[in-house]
Structure 1
Amino acid sequence: MRDAGENRTQGASEIMKNIGVIGAGQMGCGIAHVSALAGYHVHIYDLSKDRIEGALATINGNLARQVSSNKLSDEDRNSALSRITGSADVNDLAPMDMVIEAATEDESVKRKIYAQVCPVLKPEALLATNTSSLSITRLAAATDRPERFMGIHFMNPVPLMKLVELVRGIATDEPTFRAAKEYVVALEKTATVAEDFPAFIVNRILLPMINEAIYTLYEGVGSVEAIDTAMRLGANHPMGPLQLADFIGLDTCLSIMQVLHDGLADSKYRPCPLLVKYVEAGWLGRKSGRGFYDYRGEVPVPTR
């Protein structure tokens, strides 16, 4: 267990002290969690007060689990919690040194957020997006600070996953990139630099594999259980591709495949019709209770 005397706050950037997080969902919770542990003061902004309260409760519970598994001291947990606030007032983002948008993977939603948030931010504040697939250059153009805008793509679940993809847009300046990299290092995570192409590195490779697994199911080559067992035991993957799709969210999987298909104009990225059907049915995976597995009982059961 980390000794509280080692002082997690020493990793916090001397330039950036206050981090804003837009969105109180799973990714926003994770980003707030790791940022507060690293010594940053974090403010979560969301339109829903209920979601903010839920996010704070989730972070509290996740930190408590780290304490119970001896990965964190109780003192560090309490200190981190004291550095997290939240509100439904966008003006509370005004003091932030960097704001990370972690809203839904929908470009129109993100653009509306930037139009609302940018006038509130101080001129020197950095703005980042946690998008997993959308063009950083195009998103940056929707802001008043394209030079101080970039992609900081965390993996899910944020507290456990060590990788962060850093993605510059065409206008991103060097000080912004350096500050983002310093922030990632302070979180004790590993940064990898990706060029601004659809889905970057991880999802450019991962999502077509998941989509192919869905095609394998769609074409009757194997059942849900057979496909996941084959990849767990045959390729030594910790989680089968259909199980992983449910964890990611089938709507997110479909969105990323559509970005790849539209952005690269290659038929190999065509979303599987079965994936589209599941999303249309509202079977989005774990978060909706059903996807390729049914999670409504005590044990997940394949739906095909």
Structure 2
Amino acid sequence: MTVPTSVGVYGGGRMGAGIAHAFLLAGATVTLIEADDNAAAAATNRVRASLTKAAERGTLTESVEEVLDRAKAITDPASLAGCGLVVEAVPEIVDLKARVLQRIEVFAPNAVVATNTSSLSVDQLAAGLVRPQRFLGLHFFNPVPASELVEIVVGAKTEAQLITDAQGWVTALGKTAITVTDSPGFASSRLGVAIALEAMRMLEDGVASAEDIDTAMTLGYKHPIGPLRTTDIVGLDVRLAIAEHLAREVGDRFAPPAILREKVADGHLGRKSGQGFYSW
């Protein structure tokens, strides 16, 4: 199976640009929607930088410019009208995501609509949609070009055929799909956050350094990256928001430790700010 020939991505930040990269490499034409011209230009630059890295690794079969010719970053969502799939990739704020998803439905009435949420309820987001049967979660992982996993999150009203189609799209992207029902944190975020929060508590309690805690997981359990370094890459603010959501939905075992709250309050958000559990 191939990916849809025309794909929209609403939100051109790190995740949105990475999702655009993945679909471009699979042969799709991609329309990125951003809030203003400056944000659209920044999104184009992110995609260009990502494709340039891929070219340096020898994973492009075309030139960077040839691939970019199939991409456009603009502010007008009416350009999504011909898309077969539109992926929402805005920040993890439920009201914002809900508004964007409803907007996508208006401008792309024939498209499958997907959310890239890592923890928010797909059914909650679907509640405001006219066509919830054509909606599901496609949870990509950061960095999207290098990550091999996509989590397909199935809502209560998601059509069975759409699940099969989504599994085929993920395979066409050269990635592996897991399929989960809508539940707090799905499978990946729930497991990943649980490990990361315990690692933070260990650091807070002086059990070991951040480096040694991560080494315990990379060498002892064959994790490619330790939980604290992963948190820096994901963003401490993102991890905090997910932990707060899981604490509300699942229980106090997901309550964020003080060290996480303090670092976020101090602006130490990880790689994107230059400082988190590590210096970048």
Q: TM-score band, normalised by the shorter chain?
A: over 0.9
Q: Structure 1: which 5+ residue stretches go unaligned?
A: 1-10, 296-304
| Aligned residue runs from structure 1 range 205-284, under 5 A | 205-264=191-250, 266-284=251-269
User: Quick one: distance in 2 between partners of 1:223 and 1:67?
Assistant: 37
Alignment partner, residue 5 of structure 1: none
| Aligned residue runs from structure 1 range 88-103, under 5 A | 88-103=75-90
* CA deviation string 1:11-68 (max 9, x = no partner): 634xx32110011111101110110111111100010322221222222222222222
Q: Structure 2: which 5+ residue stretches go unaligned?
A: none
User: Quick one: distance in 2 between partners of 1:68 and 1:278?
Assistant: 35
Question: Quick one: which amino acid aligns to residue 88 of structure 1?
Answer: T
CA RMSD in angstroms, aligned pairs only: 1.7
1:76: Cα distance to partner? Answer: 5.4
User: Quick one: distance in 2 between partners of 1:125 and 1:236?
Assistant: 40
1:236: Cα distance to partner? Answer: 3.4
User: Quick one: distance in 2 between partners of 1:182 and 1:239?
Assistant: 28
User: Quick one: distance in 2 between partners of 1:68 and 1:126?
Assistant: 33
User: Quick one: distance in 2 between partners of 1:90 and 1:77?
Assistant: 25
Higher Cα Rg, which structure = 1
User: Quick one: distance in 1 between partners of 2:99 and 2:16?
Assistant: 18
Alignment partner, residue 2 of structure 2: 12
| Aligned residue runs from structure 1 range 150-161, under 5 A | 150-161=136-147
Overall identity of the aligned pairs, in %: 38
Alignment partner, residue 30 of structure 2: 42
1:156: Cα distance to partner? Answer: 1.1
With normalisation by structure 2, the TM-score equals: 0.94
Aligned to 2:150, the other structure's residue is in SS state: strand
Runs of 4 or more off by more than 4 Å in structure 1? Answer: none
Question: Quick one: which amino acid aligns to residue 195 of structure 1?
Answer: T
User: Quick one: distance in 2 between partners of 1:12 and 1:83?
Assistant: 16
1:183: Cα distance to partner? Answer: 1.6
1:195: Cα distance to partner? Answer: 1.5
Is the contact between residue 167 and residue 195 of structure 1 (CA under 8 Å) also seen in structure 2? Answer: yes
Is the contact between residue 12 and residue 40 of structure 1 (CA under 8 Å) also seen in structure 2? Answer: no
With normalisation by structure 1, the TM-score equals: 0.87
Alignment match of 1:70 (pick from 58, 62, 77): 58
Question: Quick one: which amino acid aligns to residue 69 of structure 2?
Answer: S
Is the contact between residue 37 and residue 76 of structure 1 (CA under 8 Å) also seen in structure 2? Answer: no
